[in-house]
Amino acid sequence: MTDYPPEPWNLAGQAYVSTWRVPLPDLPALPEGAEPVVLGGKAVVVTAWIDYRKPGQLTYHELLSTVAVRGRRAAASITEIWVDSKVSLAGGRALWGIPKDLATLPFHEGRTFTASASTEDDWNATAAFTRRVGVPLAAPAAFDVVQTLGGRPRRSPVRAKARPHLASANWNINPDGPLGYLAGRRPVASMILRDFEIKFGGETHSPSRSHPSVRRAAI
């Protein structure tokens, strides 16, 4: 059994983000009813290495890939995601239907940020981000994450703010791994989101029976 906070999760940290354009036939499967946003005949994929830190509720590392999907406002569906926290894994699956898996995710921060992701089976990806010269700006944002939970569509709100910096990014992706649809491609844009704050999910609808600040799931 693993305890995890009820929604919403209030998280903070640093994020290293790349945007890609991918032909529709190469996309991974999306939740039923989710339709990709198409620009110039290609879908928009956003990948991110995320270092969740204090004062956020949880601290862990994450690699994810999302596909921009249609909605009343900006929305995305998470198709692949790895974390190095059993708490995050259990909560993400149980609360929002996010398909989290465990991985080893060493991050190294310096003039250039580097990261890698590997599981017991194989390596998934490595990347290096270098900040470009530019003035950071506060950038509040609101969007939805669209997944499937209990066989039904689940649309979860996300509110965020950060200080974005343009960056250069070099990715190396295992062509035989889950992110293989990105192998051999180059991101169209990359950025570093400094000191972000995120409120993920809506208000809790029912109290935990174990403790007012946690819920419990079997993994």
Collapse the DSSP code of 92 into the 3-class scheme (helix H, G, I; strand E, B; otherwise coil) and give the result: helix
Radius of gyration of the chain (CA): 17
Domain 2-217 coded CATH 2.40.400.10: yes
- Percent over 70 (pLDDT), the chain: 89
Give per-residue pLDDT as tens, 164-215. Answer: 999 999 999 999 999 999 999 999 999 999 999 999 998 643 333 333 333 4
**The whole model's pTM is what?**
0.90
Q: Is the pLDDT of residue 116 over 60?
A: yes
CB-based contacts of 28: which residues, under 8 Å, 6+ apart?
A: 65, 67, 79, 80, 178, 181
With CA atoms as reference, report the closest residue to 66 among 41, 106, 90, 31.
31
The whole-number pLDDT of residue 142 equals 93
What are the residue boundaries of the structural domains of the chain, listed by start? 2-217
